[in-house]
Amino acid sequence: MKILVLNGPNINMLGIREPAIYGNKTYSDLENQLESWAKESDIEIEVFQSNHEGVLVDKIQEAYNNFDGIIINPAAYTHTSIAILDALKAVGIPAVEVHLSEPSEREAFRHISYAGIACIGRFAGMGFDSYKMAIEFIKNYIEN
């Protein structure tokens, strides 16, 4: 089983960006944790981050026929990107949305998720554990 883990803008700034919201762990810490969880779950993952919407769309399209599932933290593009929504819908790969914080508990503009419309699940507000829950969920979904 192969899962693509996509991270959107500013996720690479973990550990620096608003530690009161996102904590002190770095993006490298997240990558290492994802690799560890994937190994425990006996799945292959590719972790990718970009600050550019079109690059994320390209990566989603490249996943077609190459990955069994997508875990996506669209970050700020959650609330703005119909292009990411359309790419997820186009490839038809089961996708799960994740967020480190809980967008519904933040500013009103963060309450809408375009990407989430195309996702089969959502995990938010649990820090890195949001990703762990997504891995377990999508693995179970694909196997069953």
- CB-based burial, 96-112: b 16+ in 10 Å, e otherwise: bbbbbbebeeeeeebee
Q: What is the pLDDT of residues 17-42, one digit of tens each?
A: 877 777 789 999 999 999 999 999 99
Quick one: pLDDT at residue 112?
A: 83
Beta bridge partners of 1: none
Quick one: pLDDT at residue 17?
A: 81
Predicted TM-score (pTM) above 0.85: yes
Percent of the chain residues topping a pLDDT of 90 = 81
The domain in which residue 37 lies consists of 2-143
- CB-based burial, 67-77: b 16+ in 10 Å, e otherwise: bbbbbbbbbeb
CATH code assigned at 93: 3.40.50.9100
Number of domains in the chain: 1
Q: What is the mean pLDDT of the chain?
A: 93
Say if residue 10's pLDDT is above 90.
yes
User: How many C-beta atoms surround the C-beta of residue 58 within 10 A?
Assistant: 13
Q: What is the pLDDT of residues 103-124, one digit of tens each?
A: 776 667 666 889 999 999 999 9
Say if residue 77's pLDDT is above 70.
yes
Closest CA to 4 of 82, 98, 79: 98
99 is known as an active-site residue: yes
- CA gap 6, 60 in Å, rounded: 8
Query: Residue 5: which residues within 8 A CB-CB, separation 6 or more?
Result: 34, 45, 46, 47, 48, 70, 71, 72, 131
Q: Tokens standing for 10?
A: 């500013």
77, 99, 114, 131: the catalytic one is 99
Q: What is the pLDDT of residues 47-68, one digit of tens each?
A: 999 999 999 999 999 999 999 9
